[in-house]
Amino acid sequence: MPKRTAARVEPRAGALTEGGPVPSKGRRSFLRQGLAMAGTALASGAVGTGVARATPLPVPPSNQSMGRPIPQQMYGMPSKYEAHVFRERSSVFKNRQNFSDWSMTPLQHQTGILTPNGLHFERHHAGTPDIDPATHRLVIHGMVKQPLVFTMEDITRYPSVSKFYFLECSGNTLTDWIKAASPTVQQSHGLLSCTQWTGIPVSWLLDEAGLLPGAKWVAFEGADGAAHTRSIPLEKVLDDCLLVYGQGGEMLRPEQGYPLRLFIPGWEGNVSVKWLRRIKVGDQPWYFRSETARYTDPMPGGKWRQFSFVMECKSVITYPSGGMKLKGPGLYEIQGFAWSGRGKIKAVDVTVDGGRTWQEAQLEEPVFDKCLTRFRFRWNWNGAPAVIASRAVDSTGYVQPTVEQIGKVRALTGFVQHHNGIFPWSVSSSGEVKNAVA
């Protein structure tokens, strides 16, 4: 575990930094100082910071006519002015077929910690099946006293639980270990989403079936064309794993595993098996292909690590991020997300000088266990080239490492997953923001 070596400096109201005074934490202070920075533009009648002066607003056409009529029935959609916000397949690591691939969440446009269902990232191994919940069945067998079969109606009759958790693919950020490959944060970190999951603990159904002595592992199998299957330690299954049928206030969408999926909090996304149809209890792992080839990690000396389930503490700045352009020197609020598969986010530090110094960011409530945490940091940019990055600390004391630190304990070669290293963005003197991975 890397040690946190850089000193943390608490930003003080009125303290001078490279670009001038840092505003206090109050919203009014931030707006007042923003106005002062844009005073010339405002005096001429322009709106430089989005803060209106006492000039009467013209009456817009929307005030002078009726809006669209209310449909009898419909499924609501975002405004047509938000059409630029969409999930997108990777343009960095391209697959040449349309069945085993991923679509990435536009994190730069996410306003809170919850990802809209239509923007939640996807990962498939054999496309998206359409499964009729009326005919779908879940079986539990293996080292149990009584094998059982459940319908969806059986499962949804149990009292439900709802939890907020992030979900991250183990391949998130794998294209940007030692060179800049992804132009935007959607392409570098978009295999990450967060929502409220609704279902029942797996332990409830295992209790119904009754575990036999010696049971230690559980296999979960999906009903997709790949029959994606993973072995999970029984201890974790009994601790907090869920059988999920609801997501973000509605039933699962087909691409998220409708009508039933496994959800394992804090672990790599591929173990949360979608379209779940079978649970088998055993005394050892099954060593499926996903456990001997695909989801393994290269290590020093030519060895490979198996069952590296946990997604370690990580963070990324989403504003400003790659592809954006700052309008000029002045006050900006750096924003981003932090998360940890081992617990809550305890702190996030931000650097604006390429890692020479770090200052503590403000965490936005709520801060939940194994959930996205939003952070904010006020920056008075003086217009000089800068390199910004974030560094998260979780409730276990684990500090997000640099790629150099990860490279001392793992082999960064080939198709390397579990990249939780500090990720930099550069800001040029013209305000252009780019991927700054060396």
Is 189 in the same domain as 142? yes
196, pLDDT greater than 70: yes
Side chain identity at 391, as an amino acid letter?
A: R
Separation CA 296–CA 390 (nearest Å): 27
Domain boundary among 306, 332, 362: 306
51, pLDDT greater than 60: no
Is 252 in the same domain as 354? no
Instruction: Evaluate whether residue 167 is within a structural domain.
Output: yes
Domain boundary among 268, 287, 306: 306
Higher-scoring residue by pLDDT: 98, 380: 380
28, pLDDT greater than 90: no
| Overall average pLDDT of the 283-299 stretch | 94
Q: How many domains does the chain have?
A: 2
Separation CA 44–CA 36 (nearest Å): 14
Q: What's the pLDDT score for residue 54?
A: 80
Q: What are 330's strand-pairing partners?
A: 381
Helices and strands, number each (H, E), in the chain: 8, 27
Separation CA 264–CA 244 (nearest Å): 10
Is 167 in the same domain as 143? yes
The distance from CA 239 to its chain's CA centroid, rounded to whole angstroms, is 22
332, pLDDT greater than 70: yes
- 92-148 per-position pLDDT tens digit: 888 888 899 999 999 999 999 999 999 999 999 999 999 999 999 999 999 999 999
Separation CA 344–CA 79 (nearest Å): 34
Instruction: Evaluate whether residue 217 is within a structural domain.
Output: yes
Is 211 in the same domain as 118? yes
Give the least confident one: 2-6, 70-74, 75-79: 2-6
Is 132 in the same domain as 191? yes
Confidence band of 75 (pLDDT split at 50, 70, 90): very high
Separation CA 276–CA 221 (nearest Å): 6
Is 343 in the same domain as 422? yes
Separation CA 149–CA 331 (nearest Å): 60
- 417-426 per-position pLDDT tens digit: 999 999 999 9
Domain boundary among 306, 333, 355: 306
43, pLDDT greater than 50: no
Q: Tell me the C-alpha to C-alpha distance, in Å, between residue 346 and each of 136, 330, 365, 398.
A: 42, 29, 12, 10
Is 344 in the same domain as 279? no
Assign residue 323 the CATH number of its domain. Answer: 2.60.40.650
| Overall average pLDDT of the 285-302 stretch | 93
Confidence band of 317 (pLDDT split at 50, 70, 90): very high
Cis bond before residue 320 (omega within 30° of 0): yes
Is 301 in the same domain as 328? no
Mean pLDDT over each residue of the chain, to the nearest integer = 90
Q: How many CA atoms lie within 13 A of 370 on its CB side?
A: 20
Percentage of the chain beyond pLDDT 70 is 88
Separation CA 376–CA 335 (nearest Å): 5
Q: How far apart are the first and last CA of the chain?
A: 23
Helix or strand (DSSP H, E) at 42: helix 39-43
Q: Which residue blocks in 89-161 are alpha helix, DSSP H?
A: 152-156
DSSP string, 237-265: HHHH-EEEEEETTEEPPGGGTTT-EEE-T
Query: Which range marks the domain in which residue 262 is found?
Result: 88-306
Assign residue 125 the CATH number of its domain. Answer: 3.90.420.10
Helix or strand (DSSP H, E) at 148: strand 148-151
Q: List the strands of the sheet with 276-282, edge to edge.
A: 148-151, 137-142, 276-282, 217-222, 229-233
Instruction: Evaluate whether residue 250 is within a structural domain.
Output: yes
Is 108 in the same domain as 131? yes
Confidence (pTM): 0.90
Helix or strand (DSSP H, E) at 195: strand 192-201
Is 333 in the same domain as 209? no
Measured over the CA atoms of residue 91, residue 94, residue 95 and residue 97, the dihedral's sign is: positive
